[in-house]
Copies of this chain bind each other. A is one copy, B any other.
Amino acid sequence: MDMQPPYLLFLGDAPDQLAAKTATGIAYWRPEWCLGQLRLPDCRADLGLPDLTLKEAREAGARTLVVGVANRGGVVSQAWLDTLLHALELGYDVANGLHRRLATIPELHQRAAALGRRLIDVRHPDQPVPVASGARRSGHRLLTVGTDCSVGKMFAALALERELRRRGVSATFRATGQTGVFIAGGGICVDAVVADFIAGAAEWLTPANAPDHWDVVEGQGSLFHPSYAGVSLGLLHGTQAECLVMCHEPGRAHMRGVPEYSLPSLSECIRLNEQLGRLTCPECRVIGLALNTAALSEADAARALAAAEDETGLPAVDPCRHGVARLVEAMPL
């Protein structure tokens, strides 16, 4: 599932900025790969990138058209289809983050096959992964885990990769969700893997590496989420992470999507992740906390971070406000 940058980001007819969330993430983390954006007439999202036609971006070197937007009702409209077909003709691969597989649309499939282009449906792994072996392997791994879904696990992992590299540490962000896969140019959407292969997918994604190398793995879900905990556990076991970073959004009223379920405390979430992680990596421990305080004032954010440090005895940062230097300093480098 490797994608070739540079990208042209297709926003289609996104009704608002949130619908272009994936594209926003790519433009934020990989500006050097994003030559421009392509918007249909009624698009209401804007990444602040140059508006380029397919032809202009192709001439500027773009190799992949990225569908980084949610579409209405899962339907690929004629306007979208015309754009994607034209992109194939101009020499683009098309990488798609929709649930709907582009490869199952006969017109697209035939055109891509005839032209030798690739349709990359990132939500649908294109290769079988093995069952996890549980065998120890060389290299280091850090996994971002969370009290809940959508608390900033991808953001924290990318910030850690950047900070590690800045310090000259060999580090690779490993993507497990669609936005992460576009940002990394590869990876696997773990939530779309067949259940028996979750841990195997995590092993495949983070293979044996040089003794001083760090894979920084994007976590998914939460061990405390009644819908997704199995994914989180498979990922925890498969990565064999010796370091965990616990991600959290202060102030959530309940677990995402399930109002009957309240959030675990940081301490109890740390304890359970360490306990279960030690099955495959006896050294597994949480080295710090990444709090998403975007909804808080500067003063409230400072209070939330101080409270989290008091409760856990671990360094706590908001990666977006303060960077992750203090987390990297807590790693056994």
Question: CB within 8 Å of B: which residues of A?
Answer: 131-136, 190-196, 198-200, 224, 226-235, 237-238, 257-258, 260-261, 276, 279-280
Contacts and interface: CB of A to CB of B under 8 A. Distances in A.
A227 to B, nearest CB: 4
A195 B199 contact: no
Nearest to A134: B226
A235 to B, nearest CB: 8
B237 A229 contact: yes
A196 B231 contact: yes
Contact of A195 (B134, B192, B260, B279): B192
Contacts of A280: 226
Contacts of A136: 260
Nearest to A240: B226
Contact of A227 (B131, B232, B235): B131
Contacts of A196: 191-192, 227-228, 231
A238 B228 CA distance: 10
Contact of A190 (B192, B195, B237, B261): B195
Given A134-B260, A196-B231, A227-B237, 14 more contacts: A131-B227, A133-B227, A134-B261, A135-B258, A192-B196, A193-B195, A195-B195, A195-B198, A198-B230, A226-B238, A226-B280, A230-B232, A230-B237, A233-B233
A230 B226 contact: no
A235 B196 CA distance: 12
- Which 7 residue pairs across A and B have the least CB separation, nearest first? A230-B234, A134-B226, A230-B230, A132-B227, A191-B196, A198-B230, A134-B258
